[in-house]
């Protein structure tokens, strides 16, 4: 699996939520815009690690709505799920779990505990 494999299912999911979706804008993997809402910036990675968290922190200069997108079966997340969610909540980031085999996306704005299934 490659990071680019995560793009299409996520793009389709966001478009079904009436977002306009663009890839690779201002070094962001995905930027999604809907009406007058702030842009949603999503960084895609195969594992949840310090690099993607630092990218997210850097993207806060572009938007206050930051998500990290990883495969739903990312071992780095499964092993330390509780602590990872706690850290994401502290940073104010959302989490998107992408299952490319089922073309399914699960997102959580960790800060608000809002969970959306598709």
Q: Please write the tens of the pLDDT for every residue from 40-92.
A: 999 999 999 999 999 999 999 999 999 999 998 888 787 888 888 889 999 99
Residue 29 pLDDT: 94
CB 17 within 8 A of CB 107: no
- The pTM of the full predicted model, rounded to 2 decimals, is 0.83
Closest CA to 86 of 55, 60, 58, 53: 53
Sequence-ordered list of residues with C-beta below 8 angstroms from that of 116, at least 6 positions apart, any chain:
106, 107, 108
Phi-psi category of 95—alpha, beta or left, where left has phi over 0 and alpha has psi -120 to 50?
Answer: beta
Of the candidates 83, 77, 114, the residue with the CA atom closest to the CA atom of residue 97: 77
């Amino acid at each position: 699996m490659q990071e680019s494999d995560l793009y299409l299912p996520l793009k389709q999911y966001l478009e079904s939520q009436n977002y306009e979706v663009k890839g690779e804008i201002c070094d962001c993997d995905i930027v999604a815009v809907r009406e007058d809402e702030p842009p949603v910036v999503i960084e895609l990675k195969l594992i949840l690690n310090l690099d993607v968290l630092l990218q997210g922190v850097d993207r806060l200069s572009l938007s206050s709505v930051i998500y990290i997108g990883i495969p739903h079966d990312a071992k780095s997340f499964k092993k330390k799920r509780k602590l990872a969610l706690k850290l994401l909540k502290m940073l104010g980031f959302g989490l998107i779990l992408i299952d490319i085999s089922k073309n399914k996306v699960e997102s959580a704005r960790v800060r608000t505990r809002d969970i959306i299934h598709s």
